[in-house]
Amino acid sequence: MRILLAFIVALIICNTSYAAEFDPGWQQFPKSYMGDSIQKLAKALDTKKEEFESTQQYQERLSKIAPPGKIYLFFCTELPLKIEYNANSQEFIFSRNSYEAYIRVAKFDKNGKPYLGTNAFGVTKKIRMLEVREYSINDQDWSNEAGVAFKYPYPASQAASIKNDLAIALLIELTPHRHFGQSYNTMTSPYYYTSTYFSDPTLTSPLEYTSYTFAITANIMNVILYRKSDRSILLIAKPSKQK
């Protein structure tokens, strides 16, 4: 019985360590540190005001889901910013692409079961199904125009060997969307909204494509640059935001 209790306590401690706050003094991320789950946070924020719930009650319920002042850290599953190396100034330059509205944290692809499709002329084609789910951060103070997010000085002689080892984590705090509650706004909550894109299959492109974007409205406080190989932290940058 004592062994079982000790195991449960150890398990609880282990689980809570995953939600531990980021320590700015860390030289590298601990192996057990997983950061926060953007999928779980998005699911929690997907909550509308109920019919018999006052605005105050709704806000109190939201504050329990997302406590004011809480800081979240998300590891990005891929490099979410454009990266180039300037050999003259010997520095990596991280910038945001002009066509990207958000900073993508995670992307998941799911292939559905193929099926035979037939058009109006009786032509049959094997159709492939692809569902994409993207989880993103929408920082309202970061415009959609391309601009330098931050720079990281690094010797040219070593830059090529480290470029493919670079990864990014985001340190964020939730901020309510400025247009939440307006008549044309269809957001689920002040911090969260979704969008869906669907593309029908054709003979030249036999793909049924569905894309879901789950966006969390937040202030990107810091961008943390680290190495994937050993999780050593290279830079904690405050991103430049262009309005």
In this predicted model, what pLDDT tens digit does every residue of 47-77 receive, in sequence order?
Answer: 988 989 998 999 999 999 889 889 999 999 9
In degrees, rounded to 5, the angle at the alpha carbon of residue 164 between the alpha carbons of residues 160 and 170 is: 125
Predicted local confidence at residue 115, as pLDDT: 87
Question: Does a structural domain hold residue 27?
Answer: no
Q: Residue 243: inside a domain, yes or no? A: no
Q: Look at 84 and 21; give whichever has higher pLDDT.
A: 84
Task: Answer left, alpha or beta for residue 233, where phi above 0 means left and psi between -120 and 50 means alpha.
Answer: beta
Is residue 29 a part of any domain in this protein? no
Concatenate the DSSP letters of all residues of 119-152 into one string: -TT--EEEEEEEEEEEEEEE-TTS-SS-EEEEEE
Examine the pLDDT at 11 and tell me if it is beyond 80. Answer: no
Whether residue 168 is contained in a domain is answered as: yes
8 located within any domain: no
Q: For residue range 16-29, what is the model confidence (pLDDT) as tens digits?
A: 333 578 898 999 99
Q: What pTM was estimated for this model as a whole?
A: 0.82
- Which helix (H) or strand (E) covers residue 91, if one does? strand 91-96
> Do the domain assignments include residue 180?
yes
- The answer to the question of residue 186 being in a domain is yes
Over residues 191-240, the pLDDT tens digits come to 998 989 999 888 888 899 999 999 999 999 999 999 999 999 999 999 88
Parent domain of 191 = 35-237
Whether pLDDT at 14 is above 50: no
Q: How far apart are CA 171 and CA 72, in angstroms?
A: 6
Q: Is residue 99 a part of any domain in this protein?
A: yes
Count up the domains in the chain and report the number.
Answer: 1
